[in-house]
Amino acid sequence: MLALFLLLTSGCEHSYPEAKLHQSLKEICKKEYGVDHVESKIVGRTLGVYLPLEKLFSSDFEEILAGGKVKDLSSLLQISPETLDKVEDVLFSTSRVILSTDKPIDFYVLKATDTELTGISLILVGYVQDIKRVRFWDISRTEYRKRVYHDMKVNYPVIWKKPVSGVFKDLGKKSTRDILDAYFLPGANLENISPLFYSIILEAQLKDNLSCEILNLRSTGGRVGEALVYVKVRENYTPKQAYMDHKFTLPNGFESEYIFVLTKYLGDYKVSRVIPFYYVADDGTVKKVDFPPELKLYENVDKWREEFELEEIFLPDFLSQQITRRVQPLLSEDERIQNTFSTRRVNFGFVYNDEQKKDAENAKDAGYFSVKTNLALKKSSAAAYDSGAFDGTKDAGAGGIAALSGMLQPEALQDVYYLLDVVMRETTTVLRGYWYENYSYIKFESVFGVSFILKKEDLELYRRKKIDLAGLLGRSTPAN
């Protein structure tokens, strides 16, 4: 398993100073594990590592999609053994650097991304203190595995960049027709791709040693079925012998900027239009133009998405994700809950008292946990549900969730209590496992229309089994 990198080796203190951290990580991955193209960055106290892969999954997607028969989608998303080895090697390398650097790091994020076909990223998030605790057997390996947050998401900038980077990669290497057929919408011609850029494509055949270095590439979603890709590229070349006197549109070494408009076509994105940020004046000089008026809405390119994105992670948010991830399988697998609830979704979040200070280490009260539920009783249990008493707006009065008793018959009420007990047992276990107390309460936004607050001191009594779930809910207070 991925989490078995487990960091049981000890490193020399500050072997990887902050100034050399990123280079050291690259060198370890390449020299010791043969893994190239690893990128890393730090935001606040979070280290992000990006691992682009030619293949993430075991399945041959191209062959399966060509056959048109997919019986079990989950079977397609099996990570290949080779990928697992690479991911573990990079995780182990990351752990060595984290544990032996003078840069304070609280969290690491590894994004292993299929950059060739699907654009799907395997995302692993871990807490540095958990790394240290498992090394010293303060937590078990099983518990450590539970604490590593993992997810899969589509990395759309990877998908959107493919036709754009493909165009520049193939300039001068493939014919104009091949480039148009590969990356542009069918029927693309001079009028719908930009006359100026079309001349760039044509002139590529007149150049030797042509290279296009992409200096910046960002993307954003546009209208439905469209995407916009901004690219800044430096073109270097030498004219072919027969064209030494040719007046090329762009001089050697020129840094040009474009927006590529992509349109979804048969599952892929194809270039439908190219908007240059320059024009050629009558005297042959290249002049830059302002941001295209029709795209003013997207003018702040610096806020467009990148292939490797990273946001700082804070412990309350990490715990919220972890509780949600650990609770949901319990609700799905519990036989009683399966038999009584048709919908059983619980999602934890954290609301900060001050967004600007949410990273304060010594804050006694960072905010509160907010819990949103989506629960529905099955028909057999719904008979005990008095829909006429439910207006969707009730708050718990004296005795907290006792307000539910006015809407649920005893059997249904006990089923709700049972589900909440499963949720809260796991919640208090996780919070206790991290010794996290910098919150004031847990707020349930709505349980069958009833919103209520569970105070921290009551949750501690519940955790210690001094009161049961009914006792905890009886002490809850109404939520505004």
Residue 406 pLDDT: 63
Residue 423 has a pLDDT of 98
What does the alpha-carbon distance between residue 239 and residue 251 come to, in Å, rounded to a whole number?
Answer: 10
CATH T-level fold of 159-303: Nuclear Transport Factor 2; Chain: A, (3.10.450)
The ranges assigned to domains in the chain are 2-154, 159-303, 315-478
Q: DSSP 3-state assignment of 11?
A: coil
Distance CA 128, CA 134 (A): 10
What tokens does 59 get?
Answer: 């399945």
Cα(319)–Cα(349) distance, integer angstroms: 9
Taken as a whole, the chain contains a residue count of: 480
Sheet holding 207-221, edge to edge: 207-221, 226-239, 255-265, 268-276
> What is the spatial distance between Cα 142 and Cα 342, in angstroms, rounded to a whole number?
31
From the CB of residue 417, how many other CB atoms can be counted at a distance below 10 Å?
A: 16
- Other CB atoms within 10 A of residue 386 CB: 12
- CA–CA–CA angle 81, 87, 92 (5° rounding): 125
E strand intervals along 251-310: 255-265, 268-276, 278-280, 286-288
pLDDT by residue, tens only, the chain of 480 residues: 444 444 444 444 568 999 999 999 999 999 999 999 999 999 999 999 999 998 888 766 555 444 555 455 455 568 888 999 999 999 999 999 999 999 999 999 999 999 988 899 999 999 999 999 988 889 898 999 899 999 999 999 999 999 999 999 999 999 988 999 999 999 777 666 888 898 899 999 999 999 999 999 999 998 899 999 999 999 999 999 999 999 999 999 999 999 999 999 988 999 999 989 888 888 878 888 876 666 665 667 888 999 999 999 999 999 999 999 999 999 999 999 999 999 999 999 999 998 766 765 556 788 999 999 999 998 655 555 544 443 333 444 444 556 666 667 788 889 999 999 999 999 999 999 999 999 999 999 988 888 899 999 999 999 999 999 989 988 988 776
pTM for this predicted structure: 0.84
Any idea which residue has 């280290």 for tokens? 47
Residue bearing tokens 């050399």: 20
